[in-house]
Amino acid sequence: MAEEAGLDLVELRQLQNIAKRPRVLNLINSEISNLEKLRDSAIAKPEVPVSVPAPVSSSVKPVSPVVNYVTLGTFSWDQDNEKVKMYISLEDVGQDNVQAEFKPMSLDIKIHDVQGKNYRCAIPKLHKEIVPEKCKVLVKPKRIVITMFKSSRGNWLDIHHKEDKLKPSLEKEKDPMAGIMGMMKNMYEDGDEEMKKTIAKAWTDARSGKATDPLKGL
């Protein structure tokens, strides 16, 4: 726009030089003044290019598919004082396809893409604690060997955690009278005739409700 206004001004000034009549000169001078203002305005305010905003991507991230596993519940194991070894029979397994997670009281082994299937062997609670950072997995041609190092030396009765069977149960407490009756039976069998009569009488009184303590009077 400024360039066009400049060209128009050149021609108008040429006309201004050859014009004679006052009215024509006034019209030319007025137009020159307007064009000068237009030119100066165009120079002072250059055109600013309009930026077009970049398109916003509306793509949705794909959801990871759920991985299904075949549970490996059968394995063998052995031990020494320092470590426990598990043996899983499985062929055509790559070392990179095995994912192992060891914790102090558990392990979780995931085996991916073995002839189109995924396998998993997990023990949620081990017999005793292990040292996770020392444990390892070794893949062999026909089996997987899992080595777990014991937190404390000793023998494991099982690889799975077992509740202490010697722990007393309040629900199974014996009837206190059963012990007394057993003791009276032994006294009766080992006693003389007088003792047997006394025990027989105490036994009879206890069963009939005449005596609450069968040992009273012995």
145-195 tens-digit pLDDT: 999 999 999 999 999 998 754 444 444 445 556 666 666 676 767 667 777
Whether residues 38 and 96 share a domain: the answer is no
Q: Domain ends where: 111, 126, 150? A: 150
Asked if the structure places residue 160 within a domain, the reply is no
Tally of CB atoms within 10 A around 8: 15
The verdict on residue 100 lying in a domain is yes
Residue 23 belongs to domain spanning: 1-42
pLDDT digits (tens, 9 = 90+) for 98-145: 999 999 999 999 999 999 999 999 999 999 999 999 999 999 999 999
Phi first, then psi: give them for residue 125, nearest 5 degrees.
-150, 110
Q: What is the largest CA-CA distance in the chain?
A: 171
pLDDT in tens, 35-65: 777 777 766 665 566 666 777 665 666 766 7
Is 105 in contact with 129 (CB distance < 8 Å)? yes
Q: Residues with Cβ < 8 Å from 84, sequence gap 6 or more?
A: 77, 78, 130, 147, 148, 150, 156, 159
CA 40 and chain centroid, separation: 70
Is the dihedral angle over the CA atoms 17, 18, 23, 27 positive or is it negative? negative
Residues 159 and 125: beta-carbon distance below 8 Å = no
